[in-house]
């Protein structure tokens, strides 16, 4: 499976060489005719090699990334990670609460409530079961394990609340693009919990989980100041709970992908 550049909400992770649109291509190969080509690796089952994208969610007050990522919606207040890319079948979510310092039941219910917030706004059934799994982790970019995983751990960059890593096909005709799987990492540099009872001292888990799952279904961050109330707005802070629910713009973006 090939490894490409990772779009980190505007930060391009280094790769083997930059190509069009910031994409990093594999080293060129020379075929017998002498023609030089660039060819992605393919899996043993001949399925397409998957690209991956990292989307970082910053704490309020940190600078906007130089490239916000995705096909943005401007004043419409919604945008897509890659136009047309979405989950194509009902997906389970695997949840590892280790390192969260939260009760296991609170983490699992927070994930299910956040996912259902999206699921109830479309005719499609996006998510199936929510499974507690102590082996769920944040996979390496070139080694996805086929599961949508949610876990907690340290992230080595200041101001990062959470990061969602998405694998799929993001180039070519929009009708051929899709999201294969995603993982979410909640940064343990922050305290997590329920902001209803700890307004100042915690990042509200359900608030951030709803935002991150929005990336998992295909929506990009939005940075226009006039869109600061939407769930997919690119910044969050301690005590914030408004992203637990969806705004009309979030719902429109979702339904353009999955149906009304």
Domain total of the chain:
1
Which residue bears the tokens 């990522």? 69
User: Domain for residue 237, yes or no?
Assistant: yes
Cα radius of gyration rounded to whole Å, the chain: 18
Cα 185 from Cα 153, distance rounded (Å) = 7
Question: What is the domain range of residue 128?
Answer: 51-258
Question: Over the stretch 110-148, which tens digit does the pLDDT of each residue have?
Answer: 999 999 999 999 999 999 999 999 999 999 999 999 999
User: Domain for residue 206, yes or no?
Assistant: yes
Tell me how far CA of residue 136 lies from CA of 13, 54, 56, 57, 151, in angstroms. 24, 18, 20, 21, 7
Tokens, residue 197: 């009872």
The bridge status of strand 148-153 relative to strand 91-95 is: parallel
CB proximity list for 206: less than 8 A, separation 6 or greater:
110, 113, 114, 194, 241, 244
pLDDT at 82: 95
pLDDT at 19: 31
User: Domain for residue 148, yes or no?
Assistant: yes
Is 181 exposed, middle or buried, given 0-12, 13-18 or 19+ CB atoms closer than 10 A? buried
Q: What is the pLDDT along the chain (260 residues), one digit of tens a residue?
A: 333 333 333 332 223 333 323 333 333 333 333 344 434 444 444 457 899 999 999 998 886 665 554 445 456 899 999 999 999 999 999 999 999 999 999 999 999 999 999 999 999 999 999 999 999 999 999 999 999 999 999 999 999 999 999 999 999 999 999 999 999 999 999 999 999 987 678 999 999 999 999 999 999 999 988 899 999 999 999 999 999 999 999 999 999 999 99
pTM of the model: 0.81
pLDDT at 30: 39
CB 140 within 8 A of CB 146: no
User: Domain for residue 10, yes or no?
Assistant: no
User: Domain for residue 13, yes or no?
Assistant: no
User: Domain for residue 20, yes or no?
Assistant: no
Tokens, residue 172: 């070519």
User: Domain for residue 230, yes or no?
Assistant: yes
* Domain at 211, CATH number: 3.40.390.10
pLDDT at 66: 56
Is 15 exposed, middle or buried, given 0-12, 13-18 or 19+ CB atoms closer than 10 A? middle
Q: Residues for the chain: how many in total?
A: 260
Tokens, residue 18: 């930059």
User: Domain for residue 78, yes or no?
Assistant: yes
Tell me how far CA of residue 5 lies from CA of 51, 58, 140, 226, in angstroms. 8, 20, 13, 30
H-type alpha helices, the chain: 104-119, 205-216, 248-258
pLDDT at 93: 98
Tell me how far CA of residue 147 lies from CA of 7, 65, 94, 131, 136, in angstroms. 21, 29, 7, 11, 8
Cα 167 from Cα 177, distance rounded (Å) = 11
CB proximity list for 6: less than 8 A, separation 6 or greater:
12, 13, 52, 53, 54, 141, 165
CB 52 within 8 A of CB 165: yes
Cα 250 from Cα 78, distance rounded (Å) = 6
């Amino acid at each position: 499976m090939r490894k490409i550049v990772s779009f980190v909400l505007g930060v391009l992770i280094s790769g083997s060489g930059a190509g069009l649109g910031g994409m990093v291509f594999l080293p060129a190969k020379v075929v017998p005719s002498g023609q030089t080509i660039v060819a992605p690796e393919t899996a043993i089952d001949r399925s397409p090699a998957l690209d991956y994208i990292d989307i970082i969610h910053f704490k309020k007050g940190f600078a906007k990334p130089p490239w916000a990522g995705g096909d943005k919606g401007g004043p419409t207040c919604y945008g897509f990670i890659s136009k047309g890319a979405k989950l194509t079948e009902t997906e389970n979510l695997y949840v590892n609460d280790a390192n969260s310092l939260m009760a296991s039941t609170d983490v699992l219910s927070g994930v299910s409530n956040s996912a259902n917030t999206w699921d109830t706004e479309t005719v499609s059934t996006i998510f199936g079961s929510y499974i507690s799994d102590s082996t769920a982790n944040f996979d390496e970019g070139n080694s996805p394990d086929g599961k949508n995983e949610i876990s907690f751990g340290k992230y080595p960059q200041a101001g990062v609340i959470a990061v969602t890593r998405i694998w799929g096909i993001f180039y070519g005709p929009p009708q051929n693009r899709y999201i294969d799987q995603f993982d979410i990492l909640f940064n343990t540099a922050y305290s997590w919990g329920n902001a209803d009872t700890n307004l100042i001292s915690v990042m509200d888990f359900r608030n951030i989980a709803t935002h991150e799952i929005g990336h998992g279904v295909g929506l990009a961050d939005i940075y226009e100041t006039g869109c600061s109330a939407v769930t997919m707005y690119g910044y969050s802070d301690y005590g914030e709970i408004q992203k637990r629910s969806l705004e009309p713009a979030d719902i429109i973006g979702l339904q353009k992908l999955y149906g009304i």
